[in-house]
Amino acid sequence: MGANDLATVTLHRRAAPSAEPVRWSVEAVQALLDLPFDELLFQAQTVHRAHWPARDIELATLLSVKTGGCPENCGYCPQSAEFDTGVQAQKLMSVEEVTRAAQAAKDAGATRFCMGAAWRAPKDRDIEKVAELIGAVKGLGLQSCATLGMLEAHQAQALRAAGLDYYNHNLDTAPEYYGDIVDTRSYQDRLDTLAHVRAAGISVCCGGIVGMGEAPVHRAGLIAQIANLDPYPESVPINSLVRVPGTPLADAPPIDPLDFVRVIAVARITMPTARVRLSAGRQQLGEAVQALCFLAGANSIFYGDKLLVTGNPDVEADRALLHKLGYATRAVQVQAGEHP
């Protein structure tokens, strides 16, 4: 059986109703990645249309509510205190500041508001403060998401009690390559936090980063890991490394844009009901590659990387692209003046 046959058989098995959770081998995911490009996109779009309405793009806005000074050493991250990247550490933002930013995101068309804090693991008093931020975001009618580092079980329960809808914790890469990227925590630490989040009843947002110098088999290993979480995450952000000067990965060889599209397609095929989100690195892909990513099954984007009440050029560019592609998102409706 050739690689392409294997991938087709695997797809058919995935579509069959089954009480058993589907487990993806790294080899099966690799076989999908190796498909001819048109076959891969056809399979991905077929799965996508079977589970999602066409042209339904979720807009999620991310705000760094506590920036820099992190004791971890994730090789891609400018917020690590170990790397000299020029990022100025900032304390946790106030409820008023976050409320203003969330309102601006909502006004621009976002439906989910994600708050990121550069902690290794929050203290319980940090959780209490974040609970107030969650309340403010929820009060505006937005879905809330947080990414705060490693959590203990009782902290996840406290966030759920505060109304948190989603918790983001990425697996970053395959287990075999993880030690090349960060060595201040283990892969199992990541899995433990994800288990606490799931057990608390919070929806899971978990993805990874490609373009970190990994081999193709590591991309397959990452997708297999995420897809084999039981159940698999509701949101799967796929990032293309942004090479920040001062980080250890500043000179990593860039991923071929079509290989990035392949990863998106395979995420869609292996996790049919997940929101697959185009995340970091989207701007450097260009419009044509982003359009291919949507065709491959991406149905969520991070919308604008800075929240300015007026004149955010990234938001304008995103609205223009969505309009050009004929997507009827809330952002396009805002652009057309259909929302105040």
Task: Round the CA-based radius of gyration of the chain to a whole number and report it.
Answer: 19
Between 227 and 280, CB nearer to ligand SF4: 280
Amino acid, single-letter form, for residue 273: T
Q: What are phi and psi of 148, to 5 degrees?
A: -125, 5
- For this structure, is 114 an active site residue? yes
Angle (CA) 86-213-250 rounded to 5° is 15
Return the number of other C-beta atoms located less than 10 Å from residue 68's C-beta: 18
Between 22 and 151, CB nearer to ligand SF4: 151
Between 28 and 145, CB nearer to ligand SF4: 145
DSSP code per residue over 5-19: HHHHHHHHHHHS--S
Dist. CA 330–CA 213, nearest whole Å: 37
Q: Which of 112, 205, 282, 330 is catalytic?
A: 205
Q: Which of 112, 114, 198, 268 is catalytic?
A: 114
- For this structure, is 70 an active site residue? yes
Q: What are phi and psi of 95, to 5 degrees?
A: -60, -40
Dist. CA 130–CA 93, nearest whole Å: 10
Q: How far is the CB of 184 from ligand SF4 (least distance, A)?
A: 8
Q: How far is the CB of 149 from ligand SF4 (least distance, A)?
A: 5
Between 124 and 183, CB nearer to ligand SF4: 183
Q: How far is the CB of 207 from ligand SF4 (least distance, A)?
A: 13
Between 109 and 208, CB nearer to ligand SF4: 208
Task: List interacting residues with ligand SF4 (CB under 6 A).
Answer: 70, 72, 74, 77, 79-80, 118, 149
Q: How far is the CB of 153 from ligand SF4 (least distance, A)?
A: 19
Burial class (CB in 10 A: 0-12, 13-18, 19+), 197: buried
Q: Which of 77, 198, 219, 319 is catalytic?
A: 77
- For this structure, is 206 an active site residue? no
Q: Which of 190, 262, 275, 277 is catalytic?
A: 277
Angle (CA) 207-173-111 rounded to 5° is 15
Q: Would you name the residues annotated as active-site residues?
A: 70, 74, 77, 114, 145, 205, 277
